Amino acid sequence: MGDTDAPRTFVIIGNGVAGTTAAETLRKGDATARIILIGDEPHPLYNRVALPKVLKGITAPERTFIKTLAWHTDNNVELLLNTTVVRIDPERQLVETDTHGAFTYHRLLVATGGTPNLLNVDGARGTKGIYHFQTLDDTTTILDRIRKSKHAIVTGGSFIAYELTEGFRHHGVRTTWMIRGTRFLHRILDAEGGAFVDRLAKAVGVETVYEDEITSVNAGADGEISSVNCRSGAIIDCDLLGAGLGLRMRIECLRDTGVKVNRGIVTNEFLETSVPNIYAAGDVAEFFDVSIGTHNQMGTWNNAGSHGKTAGANMLGARQEYREVPYYTSTMFDSQMAAIGIMPESVPTMEALGRMNEERGVYRRLFFHEGRLAGAALIGDIRIRRQLMDMIRSQRQVSNAEREQFLTV
Ligand SMILES: Cc1cc2nc3c(=O)[nH]c(=O)nc-3n(C[C@H](O)[C@H](O)[C@H](O)COP(=O)(O)OP(=O)(O)OC[C@H]3O[C@@H](n4cnc5c(N)ncnc54)[C@H](O)[C@@H]3O)c2cc1C
């Protein structure tokens, strides 16, 4: 099917920030196109970044909504909720859903994000009191449970594991944070940064355990979690378990399509996949990042939104390269943290320089790619992030004096 004078049909899978921003961009650029936005959650776009505050009970769930159902109607965007795309047929340019039949498309965007890796140990399946943290509905369910809990365990060394730990302890629940590696974010922070986070955790009463992991889960006769067994031989009693074990990408609907996938969906710098008229955006896109000359994948809100804009523009016929410096900021117990630009998970060969100022409680770690600043991790005073983002954008070689200046805290 090619472009004709008849209105075009754009189909978007996933109504997160990437998919919804793409729908908005498409509507701005084409007043008559048919736009179908399909999502398997029951809600229009809400702010995932606000979920940790919902978990703490600081923000009401309804305050997280960014788009109303009426916005979709007003903008003539057909929103299908509780609907899963189960198959794509690139030959016929068709997507099949589980509950709303099939739709043909001129251009298709896959913005399906990821889903949490499940805690896959003996006894975990079917045991009550084990939670993963990804959606608004997860958050309200966990919040109900926290209010009845006394001792929580969190497993994982990711940002999500941190958010669960912080959420639990915020409610006064005794919290043990178990990390399989030697420290939090072990690829991003060095030993000094990891030790700093450990001090921040302990200062608010969190019990930390490193180089250990849960090997099985025990439940009482009521099916509720009662304790976990650890590789070290320890048995820890608990009535709540949070798992932050990373994401698996939602690429299952691309099976047998010929679209090139790796961990995510591989795209070029225009967010086009290997199959004509199919684009990918957001967390799921493993895009060619012109700033580092290689493929890259991000898990940040602003990257996903910017991807949505770029993909939408290109689906309309533009040739925009994706060029943004992503950043992620969050609390870090009673301090704060920022991760900017490219992280060593994407480019493990980057040169890294770290510095800790104990007195001021400030930590910085900078990542250089071929002599240029590519990324940074900051804890404590993170105000320098704008300056660092400008330097990353400039793509110029950083002198030793400038390196020293950025590291001086
Ligand atoms: C608790 C939490 C806190 C976070 N905090 C921060 C933060 O502080 N800063 C930051 O930058 N980022 C943060 N993030 C990450 C950020 O939220 C994500 O990077 C961003 O939301 C990704 O957007 P997306 O549109 O790519 O994917 P998603 O938001 O994952 O949306 C994809 C949607 O597609 C749906 N879907 C998947 N497959 C199908 C299918 N086959 N059919 C129909 N629908 C489908 C999914 O259910 C989902 O609703 C946080 C994430 C979480 C979970």
On whether residue 234 sits in a domain, the answer given is yes
Q: How far is the CA of 75 from the centre of ligand 1 (A)?
A: 23
199: pLDDT strictly greater than 70: yes
CA distance 204 to 333: 7
Residues 6+ apart with CB under 8 A from 78: 34, 35, 36, 37, 72
Q: How far is the CA of 48 from the centre of ligand 1 (A)?
A: 7
The predicted-structure confidence for 260-293, as pLDDT tens digits, reads as follows 999 999 999 999 999 999 999 999 999 999 988 8
**H helix or E strand, kind and range, residue 244:** none
**Which strand ranges, in their side-by-side order, compose the sheet holding 362-369?**
327-332, 335-341, 372-379, 362-369, 351-357
- Would you state the pLDDT for residue 386? 94
On whether residue 46 sits in a domain, the answer given is yes
Residues 90 and 177 in one domain: no
With CA atoms as reference, report the closest residue to 335 among 285, 304, 379.
379
Residues 230 and 349 in one domain: no
Question: Above pLDDT 90, what percent of the chain?
Answer: 95
Q: Is 161 helix (H, G, I), strand (E, B) or coil?
A: helix
Residues 144 and 178 in one domain: yes
181: pLDDT strictly greater than 80: yes
Residues 178 and 242 in one domain: yes
Residues 62 and 81 in one domain: yes
- Would you state the pLDDT for residue 2? 44
With CA atoms as reference, report the closest residue to 341 among 310, 361, 369, 380.
369
From 199, 225, 246, the end of a domain falls on: 246
On whether residue 3 sits in a domain, the answer given is no
Strand 34-38 and strand 9-13: the pairing is parallel
Residues 240 and 256 in one domain: no
31: pLDDT strictly greater than 80: yes
- Would you state the pLDDT for residue 3? 47
The predicted-structure confidence for 322-331, as pLDDT tens digits, reads as follows 988 989 999 9
Q: What share of the chain is helix, strand, coil (3-state, %, to 5)?
A: 25, 30, 40
- Would you state the pLDDT for residue 324? 87
How many separate domains does the chain show?
3
CA distance 344 to 284: 18
- Would you state the pLDDT for residue 4? 52
From 295, 315, 335, the end of a domain falls on: 315
Q: What is the mean pLDDT of the chain?
A: 96
On whether residue 322 sits in a domain, the answer given is no
Residues in the chain: 409
The predicted-structure confidence for 383-399, as pLDDT tens digits, reads as follows 999 999 999 999 999 99
- Our answer on whether the CB atom of 85 is closer than 6 Å to any ligand 1 atom is yes
CATH number at 178 reads: 3.50.50.60
DSSP 128: B
Residues 182 and 292 in one domain: no
With CA atoms as reference, report the closest residue to 111 among 24, 7, 51.
24
Residue type, 307: H
294: pLDDT strictly greater than 90: no
The predicted-structure confidence for 336-379, as pLDDT tens digits, reads as follows 999 999 999 888 999 999 999 999 999 999 999 999 999 999 99
Q: Residue 52 in contact with residue 166, Cβ under 8 Å?
A: yes
On whether residue 4 sits in a domain, the answer given is no
Q: Look at the block and give the residue holding tokens 């365990």.
A: 153
CATH number at 332 reads: 3.30.390.30
- Would you state the pLDDT for residue 293? 85
- Our answer on whether the CB atom of 46 is closer than 6 Å to any ligand 1 atom is no
On whether residue 159 sits in a domain, the answer given is yes
Tell me the two tokens of residue 73.
């109607």
Tell me the two tokens of residue 198.
């450990």
Residues 212 and 299 in one domain: no
Q: How far is the CA of 234 from the centre of ligand 1 (A)?
A: 35
Which residues on adjacent β-strands are paired with residue 373?
368
On whether residue 320 sits in a domain, the answer given is no
Q: Which of 166, 251, 255, 301 to mutate to test the pocket of ligand 1 (most atoms within 8 A of CB)?
A: 301
Handedness of CA 286, 18, 338, 364 (dihedral sign): positive
Residues 362 and 394 in one domain: yes
Q: Is 153 helix (H, G, I), strand (E, B) or coil?
A: strand
With CA atoms as reference, report the closest residue to 49 among 59, 34, 35, 37.
59
Query: Which residue range(s) make up the domain with 331?
Result: 327-407
Q: How far is the CA of 41 from the centre of ligand 1 (A)?
A: 11
On whether residue 1 sits in a domain, the answer given is no
CA atoms within 13 Å, Cβ hemisphere of 20: 21
The predicted-structure confidence for 108-152, as pLDDT tens digits, reads as follows 999 999 999 999 999 999 999 999 999 999 999 999 999 999 999
Residues 6+ apart with CB under 8 A from 400: none
Burial class of residue 221 (count of CB atoms within 10 Å of its CB; 0-12, 13-18, 19+): exposed
Q: Look at the block and give the residue holding tokens 């006064």.
A: 172
The predicted-structure confidence for 211-256, as pLDDT tens digits, reads as follows 999 999 999 999 999 999 999 999 999 999 999 999 999 999 999 9
1: pLDDT strictly greater than 60: no
Q: Is 272 helix (H, G, I), strand (E, B) or coil?
A: strand
- Our answer on whether the CB atom of 36 is closer than 6 Å to any ligand 1 atom is no
- Would you state the pLDDT for residue 318? 98
Residues 151 and 129 in one domain: yes
With CA atoms as reference, report the closest residue to 334 among 203, 153, 156, 244.
203
Residues 230 and 126 in one domain: yes
With CA atoms as reference, report the closest residue to 370 among 341, 397, 390.
397
Q: How far is the CA of 332 from the centre of ligand 1 (A)?
A: 21
Q: Which of 13, 49, 79, 322 to mutate to test the pocket of ligand 1 (most atoms within 8 A of CB)?
A: 49
